[in-house]
Structure 1
Amino acid sequence: MKDPRNIDTAIIRALQLDGRASFLDIAKELGAPRATVATRVQQLLDSGTVRVIAAVDPSFLGQRVIAHVSVVAEGPVRVIANGLVQDSDSVLVSAVGGDHDLIAEFRVTSHEELHRRLADVRRLPGVAKIDTLIYTSVIKGFFISKYTGDAVIDAMDTRLIELLQADGRSSYRQMAGIVGLSATAVRTRVQRLLEARIIKISAVEARGAHGRQLSMGVGLNINGGHDEVIELLRASSDIEFAAETVGRFDAVATLVGQSPAALLDSLEELRGLPGIKRTVSWSHLDVLKEDYARRV
């Protein structure tokens, strides 16, 4: 673990699983000195390589329709990209290399609202074609907590969520000083929000042109062995996000790696699974928006 790149990768993975993990807990997991972990975490945050934020589960917000939209442009993509970035219902926008030029993820309240959003996308100057996938089940996602309850929150909870959306590692004492509660009361409220799966606190890593890590999207057509494929998507440390879909693919996934060779190895592992009939991949060249903060 002496190579800083290896330490950073392990630290980011730990923060993606638990954005508020303590330096001591991460150090124990990595088998590294606490001081080293504390220094590396701060450097990752200060450099903008990583952001730790809270995201409200889309189901709690009533956003029960999540769509993956791929855009083919007639020319340069910047104008289209700006339109997608400015849309309040988009959480992810990326310039990609492959059959399409841009991809975006939209979270909306209904299929009717999705149709309106797609019509807006089609009207953007330079859009030649769009292809849409609907997520039927999110298999793996650091900002999906799968809320299924009937919890009620108040104005104080909402304020704490806003603070955690800005800085998911803000201390209980810091938040207490802002909202006028004791640190113990803040801790109790935050733990309740986490346990009820209303929010999830995780790390967003800069990718593409401005990041240290490469990422690739993959569409999968599955023709048998469906459960085994889904389990690999869930278990693989090289897969950051995966969802079952309705549309031209049965599932989509995001692979991450520090080199093209690493991405190819992960893609080959997927291709070699019994039941995978076809894969289509695209490279994330520049992630233009990754923003899961939403007003409650």
Structure 2
Amino acid sequence: MVREIKKNVKAENTQQQILDDLDFEIITRLQKDGRTSYTEIAEELRITVGTVRNRVQRLTENEILKIVGVVNPFKTGNPSVTMFGIKVQLHLLEDVISELVKIPEVRFVAAATGVYDIYAEVITSSNEELYKVFKSQMSKIEGIELMDSSLLLAIYKQTYDWEVGT
């Protein structure tokens, strides 16, 4: 079966990415363990290693798949984890997002519906460092109308192995 996934290239321009069941099978295995070798995947799916390599390369080049190590910041010297809900002037939404993603301490940015237009996660080594990021960088971004912050105290679940393409 072939499934169409829309990939936003720019806010005003989209292109179709066609993913088939083999792509989803490869993605599912890598979600469970990103260290799974291409050989293991090829053997499980009864395809060639080259096919797996080519598919993974295409998926990563098209920003459908990213293979990373997921870290618990509380256990690695970054105890200040804050989620910001941000209301913006909507005509400046893309500009605000562009400025947020430039800040190294901002680790996650997403546009949203509901109370806030953007959610951004900031991870720093201390609350003092968080204050510096907030005061000297985030608060100076044109188009931000309101920022609400929640200091995260602990992470109880952090998983990335949800079903894809359903």
RMSD (Å) for aligned C-alpha atoms: 3.1
TM-score by length of 1: 0.44
Alignment pair present for 1:249 and 2:116? yes
In the alignment of these two chains, the number of paired residues is: 153
CA distance in 2, matches of 1:189, 1:274: 41
Q: How big is the shift at 1:261?
A: 1.8
Aligned residue for 1:272?
140
CA gap of 1:249–1:178, structure 2 versus 1, over 3 A, is: closer
Amino acid in the other structure paired with 1:212: G
Amino acid in the other structure paired with 1:233: L
What 5-or-longer segments of structure 2 have no aligned partner? none
Alignment pair present for 1:293 and 2:161? yes
CA gap of 1:195–1:224, structure 2 versus 1, over 3 A, is: closer
Aligned residue for 1:216?
82
TM-score by length of 2: 0.72
Q: How big is the shift at 1:264?
A: 1.4
**Shift >6 Å, 4+ stretches:** none
Q: How big is the shift at 1:197?
A: 4.2
CA gap of 1:199–1:285, structure 2 versus 1, over 3 A, is: same
Q: How big is the shift at 1:284?
A: 1.0
User: Is the 1:239–1:254 Cα contact (8 Å) retained in structure 2?
Assistant: yes
Alignment pair present for 1:204 and 2:70? yes
Q: 2:130 aligns with which of 263, 271, 276?
A: 263
CA distance in 2, matches of 1:265, 1:225: 27
Q: How big is the shift at 1:253?
A: 0.9
CA gap of 1:286–1:211, structure 2 versus 1, over 3 A, is: farther
Q: Deviations over 1:224-263 (max 9, x none)?
A: 9835422211222111111233333332211111222221
Q: How big is the shift at 1:164?
A: 0.6
Alignment pair present for 1:164 and 2:30? yes
What 5-or-longer segments of structure 1 have no aligned partner? 1-58, 63-136, 140-146
User: Is the 1:224–1:274 Cα contact (8 Å) retained in structure 2?
Assistant: no
